Structure 1
Amino acid sequence: MNFYTEKKHNEKNKELPIYKNVDVLVVGSGPSGLAAAIASSRTGAKTMIVERYGCFGGVISQVGVEGFAWYRHTNTIEAGGIAFEFEERAKKIGGELKEVQSISQALDAEYFKIVADELIEEAGVLPLLHTMVVEAILENGVIKGVIAEGKSGRFAIMASRIIDCTGDGDVAAKAGAPFRKRDQLHSVTPLFNVKGVNKQKFQNYIENDLKPTYADWKGEWEMSTNGKEDHLFSPYLVKPFTQAIADGYLVADDMIDYGGSYSSVTDEGDVTQLNVVFIRGVDCTDVEELTRAEITGRKAVLNAIRVMNKYVPGFEHAKLRNFGMTLGTRESRQIEGHYSMTGDDVMNQARFEDSIGIFPEFIDGNGILWIPTTGRYYQIPLRALLPYKVKNLLVAGRAISGDIMAHASFRNMSCCVVTGQGAGVVAALSIRDNVDPSHVDIKSIHCELERQKVRYE
């Protein structure tokens, strides 16, 4: 969509105040941004984190994706590090819920705001909420800082290194780093929670009537597995929606797919992270399309609740408790990095000399579902975090460099923590050693990752 009109307005050139001058600036505070900022500060760099919303936590606290490690089974091998700290700290303050399809615990979205606040404060990171980065400051291909805006006005933040953890590669794009964006992107989802569910009646329906497994995934969720996942329980709700459409109770929509999963069921009758509405054809870097999807999504959620009231035992009196603060986005920009990860890397346990962490053989997207039950894993190379053309910039999270199949793995939250922690360590060490991030001694990186309890090999 062409967002702009042909008319132009000349913005006045004016001097801007410099708000801060730091070693490392992290833009975005989702799982990757939190990990990047904490790791950078722990490595000794003066670090600042900037977030456009009023809380840290990104897809966890803002979108409401609470199933942080829903792929985890007995033999799953993971990197550890800050990802495990998220879970430990949530448990410590009572902010965890039983995740129904794995041996992990879900992270309560509201409690996680406190977890994030505490971790940022304890690490000595300078926090700034309600602030949006609008421009990159460059000199001869080297990023020197950003221009940001908030209710306080427009100002600059200068930094020796910048880590883009926006998820959409916003800083990289503004800095002129090359990126890819597919014409047909993954769908977006308005996550929501409901209250008033009869827990026992609902669980009886799931366990004795529906008996869902990963082999049941259809529609937007239709996947090919390698067989080992097919018998495993999945909290998958599609039957009520297909029946409602067949009965004429729910009108089919070419742009919306209904049916999906949930994360937890509380004793009080709350069902969390209902992931049952999928909106196609949305470019999450276009604010008009985002606006349409937000409004359309809320209407679709009410349709979904109405269907579950009628067709899901235990949901007869369920009501909306809350929406996530914003849509859940699966895909947008991906940088072109010095190495582009591939599905082959993920599926064949790739190993790299410049590994900054590992992630289990978990794929969820692009028509493939592999659950990591066998102990297989792959390494993530630093080069995938380093964009072409812009120096002193690193990217972490789902916007790192890779093909669509690799993206279906590394887009997941706990992998975003791995890339974020690695980026934070590398950024800080590059300042300490006065070298480009691509030239930091890999032994130094691995030594610091070990100190921060991250598995990289």
Structure 2
Amino acid sequence: MKDKMQADVVIAGAGPAGIAAAVAAGRLGAKVILIERYGFVGGMSTAAAVYPWMTFHTETGERVIGGIAQEIVERLMERGGSPGHLRDTVGFVHTVTPYHAEIYKVLAVDMLREAGVKLLAHSFVDGVSSLDGAVRSLALTGKSGRFEVGGDVFVDATGDADLAFLAGAPTLQGREEDRLTQPMTMKFRMRGVDLEAIRRAMLKNPGNFYSKTPFAELEHIPLTGVSGFYEEWNAGNAPINRDQVLFFTGPEADEVLVNCTRVQGYDATDVEDLTKAEEEGRKQVLLMADFLRERVPGFAQASISSVGAQIGIRESRRIEGLYKLTLKDVVAGRRFADGIARSGYPVDLHDPSGKGVMSAFIDNDGAYDIPYRCLVARNFTNLLAAGRCISTTHEALATTRLTPSCMATGEAAGTAAALACASGTSTAEVDTGQLRHILSSNGAIL
């Protein structure tokens, strides 16, 4: 292992955003190094079992996310790793996209190799060297000891804005008034679930489920998700601060991913808080599994088959960019001249301290733009963000944090980073017309 490595584009975090960024930059000819702390890629989609991907479409079914994200879905389908986009039977969005996490891990690495990307797994970024508003190198600690990775342009795809924070770039966290963030969730899977018994329970008592559940279609389409069982939840008096049962089916025929634990009041960027959150989350998993087996139709013979390697994080730090996307922008379906991605996912804001979820749906054509300026770190000439840590308000983050949107901003960040390297310009000076043209040509902007 060399004491110092060098690349054109250096990306921290090999989650969905980092993978897309690395592939995009590599395909444009940039020398790319992608850094990942785990021994596998996929970020929240694999380490925290965030599942399924939602959504590639607007409420009316128009697909607004393409590019590398859509390519990943299609290549997963070829390998038997996804059925593609299916109707959301929760009814919150139009489609969800189930996927097999283990196949995704392998496919993503194959795509990185094809693009000429150098992947450094088991490597933790613990220091950043900056000078005159430019990141010069990252300090990594791993099995080989401590070493440096230098580059021309850096992309923070850590989810927690770790790179930006260590560089001294301005960051934001949580709500403006108290910095509280959306709760964390420890996801887990159960096998041995009778999905047809669940379907029958839904059709028998529609009022016991989320009001937008598409009951008119439910007898004829695959069951992909369930939100409700309100009567069972209220009668069970489970010691978890939420108001419903929520789970999604697959990838196996008797399998569900349970999204019901709720860990509140902790800071995901504080090691002591995060330790406590992990402990609490795993205790809630056992409580929730017992509740489902005892009270919810279809779960009597079910058992836990896997639990996330880490707790799922909805919100932590994010960069302060040249523009901060707002709730008003999202709900109005605002278009931007420098828009580099679109999203049709509604605002889905989990209360930092209460039981509920605040939802807000998108006007206009059901989609909004994410401007390039949200990716550009303020006061730095060569630092971009992608994924969960782009520049937004607390409320707007409740939509941009979803995986397909993270993939889309990742592709845009990687493309912009390669353009900045090729032209020798700062990230703020990237020609957004050229950037948008490339993204449109690749099907990333539809």
Normalising by structure 2, what TM-score?
0.88
2:300 corresponds in structure 1 to 316
The reply to whether residue 167 of structure 1 matches residue 163 of structure 2 is no
Residue 48 (str. 1) matches residue 33 (str. 2): yes
Deviations 1:55-107 (A, max 9, x none): 11111111112211247454334131111112111111111256653444311
1:230–1:168 distance in 2 versus 1, CA, 3 Å: farther
> Which secondary structure does the structure 2 equivalent of 1:292 belong to?
helix
Alpha-carbon offset, residue 259 of structure 1: 3.5
Name the amino acid aligned to 1:32.
A
| Residue pair 1:180, 1:333 contacting (<8 A) in 2 also | yes
Q: Does 2:76 match 1:90?
A: yes
Q: Which amino acid aligns with 1:283?
A: D
Contact 2:208 2:229 in 1 (8 A): no
Q: In structure 2, what is the equivalent of residue 128 of structure 1? A: 120
Could you give the per-residue CA deviations for residues 317-372 of structure 1, whole angstroms, max 9, x where no partner exists? 21100001111101111211111111111111222222212222622115432456
Compute the displacement of 1:395 (Å): 0.7
Match of 1:269 among 228, 232, 254: 254
What is the aligned counterpart of 2:144 among 128, 148, 152?
152
Q: Paired residue for 1:449, among 422, 434, 439?
A: 439
Partner of residue 138, structure 1: 130
Taking the aligned partners of 2:210 and 2:72, their CA distance within structure 1 comes to 27
Aligned-pair CA distance for 1:211? 5.6
Which residue identity lines up with residue 106 of structure 1 in the other structure?
P
Q: Does 1:350 align with 2:341?
A: no
SS at match of 1:107: coil
Instruction: Name the aligned partner's letter for residue 30 of structure 1.
Output: G
What's the CA shift for 1:404?
Answer: 1.7
**Per-residue displacement from partner, 1:17-67 (whole Å, max 9, x unpaired)?**
534200001100111111111111112211111100111111111111221
Query: Are residues 1:60 and 2:39 paired?
Result: no
Deviation of 1:231 (Å) = 9.7
The question of whether the paired residues in 2 share the 8 Å contact of 1:77 and 1:376 is answered with: no
Aligned to 2:41, the other structure's residue is in SS state coil
> 1:336–1:105: structure 2 CA closer, same or farther, 3 Å change rule?
closer
Instruction: Identify the residue that residue 305 of structure 1 maps to in structure 2.
Output: 289
Is it true that 1:81 corresponds to 2:81 in the alignment?
no
Structure 1 residue identity aligned to 2:296: V
The secondary structure found in structure 2 opposite 1:306 is helix
- Compared with structure 1, are the counterparts of its residues 90 and 266 closer, same or farther at alpha carbon in structure 2 (3 Å cutoff)? closer
Q: 1:123 to 1:306 in 2, by over 3 A?
A: same
Given residue 205 of structure 1, which amino acid in structure 2 is its aligned partner?
Answer: A
Query: Are positions 1:194 and 2:190 aligned together?
Result: yes
Pairing partner for 1:23 from 5, 8, 22? 8
> Structure 2: which amino acid aligns with 1:420?
G
Q: Distance in 2 between matches of 1:89 and 1:206?
A: 33
Determine helix, strand or coil for the equivalent of 1:445. helix
* Distance across 2 between alignment mates of 1:260 and 1:375: 31
Q: 1:189 to 1:336 in 2, by over 3 A?
A: same
Greater Cα shift, 103-112 or 380-389: 103-112
TM-score for the superposition, normalised by structure 1: 0.86
Match status 1:235 vs 2:226: yes
User: Taking structure 1 as reference, are residues 429 and 347 closer, same or farther at Cα in structure 2, changes over 3 Å only?
Assistant: same
Aligned residue number for residue 9 of structure 1: none
- Say if 1:267 and 1:384 are closer, same or farther in 2 by CA, change over 3 A: closer
Give the secondary-structure state (helix, strand or coil) at the position aligned to 2:388.
coil
Offset of residue 198 of structure 1:
2.3
| Shift in Å, 1:257 | 3.5
Separation (CA, whole Å) in 1 of partners of 2:3 and 2:405: 34
Letter in 2 for 1:277: T
Tell me the SS of whatever aligns to 1:64: coil
Does the alignment pair 1:360 with 2:344? yes
Q: Deviations over 1:101-129 (max 9, x none)?
A: 34443112222112211111111111111
Q: Which stretch of structure 1 is more off in the superposition, 203-212 or 18-27?
A: 203-212
Counterpart in the other structure of 1:12: none
C-alpha separation in 1, matches of 2:424 and 2:251: 51
How many residue pairs get aligned? The number is 422
Q: Is 1:213–1:230's contact at 8 Å kept on the other side of the alignment?
A: no
2:216 and 2:317 map into 1 onto residues whose CA distance is 35
**1:137 shift after superposition:** 1.2
Matches within 5 A, 1:114-125: 114-125=106-117
User: Percent of pairs identical after alignment?
Assistant: 31
Distance 1:310 1:87, change over 3 A: same
Contact in 1 for aligned 2:56/2:404 (Cα 8 Å)? no
Which residue in 2 is equivalent to 1:225? none
Structure 2 distance, partners of 1:430, 1:230, is 50
1:287 aligns with 2:271: yes
Cα 1:156–1:443, aligned 2, differ >3 Å: closer, same or farther? same
Alpha-carbon distance in structure 2 between the residues aligned to 1:288 and 1:53: 20
Q: Aligned pair in 2 of structure 1 residues 260, 398: CA closer, same or farther (>3 Å)?
A: farther
* Secondary structure of 1:346 counterpart: helix
Structure 1 unaligned regions, length at least 5: 1-15, 218-228
Displacement of 1:285 in angstroms is 0.2
CA contact (8 A) 1:77 1:375 kept: no
> Does residue 381 of structure 1 match 2:371?
yes
**How far, CA to CA, are the matches of 1:259 and 1:329 in structure 2?**
20
Change (3 A) 1:160 1:18: farther
The letter for the 2-side match of 1:388 is R
Unpaired runs of 5+ residues, structure 2, are: 219-224, 351-356
Residues 452 and 71 from structure 1, CA distance in 2 versus in 1: closer, same or farther, beyond 3 angstroms?
closer
Q: Which amino acid counterpart does residue 144 of structure 2 have in structure 1?
A: S
Do the aligned partners of residues 258 and 296 (structure 1) sit closer, same or farther apart at CA in structure 2, a change above 3 Å counting? farther
